[in-house]
């Protein structure tokens, strides 16, 4: 049924161009990537004219050549130390990733120096190297004679308001990094570079059990917040204007702001679902199309939606939802109707064409081998250590499976991740391969795609504590 709807939607005229200033984040932390050229064609077909990347991988970046899509490339956090320590590293990086790609027809606009380097969870690992890396990178770009700006995408946790005065006007940069942030924003401002901030209303809800659900959306269904004559009806506006106040106090009141990441996941948590995601995007895109801005900073704004495609190798330490931010599923299919132009004409976006699948077969638990149940915990633990079992969590899309269904789901995810290798459906004789679709109700047992990647990407494993909790949950 869903396939039929998607095909019918594809027969309609192509979607309108994305609202002015709307781009997407394109991450590549998946076991089976689609060919970048096919993804770029999909972006163009859907009217998306800007992307933000998390590295400068040639396989991905080269696909943007001649597309007219603006690109933000990135220096990953684990490269910051080298760029900070030696200006020559910055010059080499610019030569290899900026100048060369510009010459090849890639429209490079920004270089992101790190990604959320001041997160508290990093325990200060990048505090002393981010600013030197930023300065070296901007100097290298200037020396290369390119009109490209270096920026630092930062999480919204770099600023806050006191608990006793939780309004935007009380906001300022975090005390532990205030001096550093003042230096960074003034440097960016002098170089005509924007402040890039990642704002997640979903995380406000996820991290605070008492957070009002409707304040996450844009339909005014929650009690408003009043601050110095301004009215806030949603957390995004309040968060954004807290940053505006922080910039004012840092001496750069008119600094341009780009929202580097904003989105809503569709699985992995009880409030990470398609219904809420569609509601969130519908409201946000209408807001972008109207160019209303925020109470303190009205007018046009730029924002990159997070994210383009689900990534089954992302770390789940922040939450199981981390692997489900995509507007598109792992195989390039749109998850729900939406209108990137913000005009409210919701319909399914055009998917990625030419995706090839592995054979239609599934690995499931052999229920006739109950005498081997004692081996199940280790088998399920192994499967979920090397594949994505996040949909099995409480309130998630596969939460309603039976005991045996949970085991089959885990086995199949491992089997598909391992390219349906027959040896990946053994589990000590507990599993078998079937050709009847093993999906149950609203829980999809996927068939993996034929990876377009020519590289071998090592699988990320879940943290041991998460693996154990998932295994115990499955076997309950």
Q: Among all residues, which ones are annotated catalytic?
A: 116, 261
Residues 311, 350: Cα–Cα separation, whole Å: 19
For 56-194, strand residue ranges (E) read 70-75, 107-113, 149-151, 154-155, 159-160, 172-173
Residues 307, 326: Cα–Cα separation, whole Å: 5
Number of residues that make up the chain: 476
Q: Is the dihedral of CA 189, 191, 193, 196 positive or negative?
A: negative
Closest of 429, 419, 440 to residue 357, by C-alpha: 419
What residues form DSSP beta bridges with 328? 309, 334
Residues 255, 233: Cα–Cα separation, whole Å: 24
Structure tokens at 423: 């040896």
Residues 243, 311: Cα–Cα separation, whole Å: 29
What residues form DSSP beta bridges with 258? 196, 302
What residues form DSSP beta bridges with 197? 154, 259
Residues 138, 149: Cα–Cα separation, whole Å: 7
CA distances from 16 to 262, 310, 353, 384, 398 (A): 21, 23, 19, 40, 34
Q: Which residues contact 224 (CB under 8 A, 6 or more apart)?
A: 231, 232, 233
**55 cis-preceded (ω within 30 degrees of 0):** no
């Amino acid at each position: 049924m869903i396939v039929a709807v998607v095909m019918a939607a594809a027969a309609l005229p192509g979607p309108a161009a994305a609202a002015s200033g709307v781009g997407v984040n394109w991450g590549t932390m998946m076991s089976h990537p689609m060919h970048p050229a096919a993804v770029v064609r999909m972006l163009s077909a859907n009217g998306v004219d800007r992307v933000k990347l998390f590295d400068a991988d040639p396989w991905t970046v080269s696909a943007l050549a001649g597309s007219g899509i603006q690109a933000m490339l990135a220096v990953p956090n684990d490269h910051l130390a080298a760029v900070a320590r030696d200006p020559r590293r910055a010059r080499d990086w610019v030569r290899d990733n900026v100048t060369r790609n510009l010459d090849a027809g890639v429209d490079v606009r920004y270089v992101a120096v790190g990604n959320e380097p001041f997160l508290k969870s990093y325990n200060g690992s990048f505090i002393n190297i981010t600013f030197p890396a930023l300065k070296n990178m901007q100097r290298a770009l200037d020396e290369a004679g390119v009109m490209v700006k270096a920026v630092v995408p930062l999480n919204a946790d770099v600023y806050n308001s006191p608990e006793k005065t939780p309004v935007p006007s009380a906001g300022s940069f975090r005390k532990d990094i205030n001096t550093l942030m003042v230096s960074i924003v003034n440097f960016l401002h002098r170089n005509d570079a924007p402040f890039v901030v990642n704002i997640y209303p979903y995380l406000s809800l996820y991290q605070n059990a008492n957070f009002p659900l409707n304040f996450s959306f844009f339909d005014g269904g929650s009690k408003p917040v009043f601050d110095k004559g301004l009215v806030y009806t949603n957390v995004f506006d309040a968060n954004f204007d807290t940053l505006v106040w922080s910039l004012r106090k840092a001496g750069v009141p008119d600094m341009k702001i780009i929202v580097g990441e904003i989105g809503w996941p569709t699985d992995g948590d009880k409030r990470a679902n398609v219904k809420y995601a569609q509601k969130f995007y519908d409201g946000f895109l209408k807001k972008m199309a109207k160019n209303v801005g925020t109470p303190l900073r009205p007018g046009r704004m730029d924002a990159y939606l997070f994210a383009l495609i689900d990534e089954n190798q992302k770390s789940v330490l922040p939450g199981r939802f981390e692997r489900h931010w995509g507007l598109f599923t792992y195989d390039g299919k749109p998850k729900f109707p939406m209108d990137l132009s913000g005009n409210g004409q919701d319909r399914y976006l055009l998917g990625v064409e030419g995706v090839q699948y592995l054979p239609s077969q599934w690995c499931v638990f052999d229920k006739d081998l109950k005498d081997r149940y004692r081996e199940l915990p280790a088998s399920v633990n192994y499967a979920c250590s090397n594949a994505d079992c996040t949909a099995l969590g409480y309130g998630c899309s596969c939460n309603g499976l039976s005991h045996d269904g949970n085991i089959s789901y885990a086995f199949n995810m491992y089997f598909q991740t391992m390219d349906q290798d027959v040896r990946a459906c053994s589990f000590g004789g507990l599993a078998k391969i079937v050709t009847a679709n093993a999906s149950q109700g609203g829980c999809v047992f996927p068939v993996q795609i034929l990876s377009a990647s020519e590289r071998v990407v090592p699988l990320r494993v879940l943290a041991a504590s998460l693996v154990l909790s998932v295994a115990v949950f499955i076997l309950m």
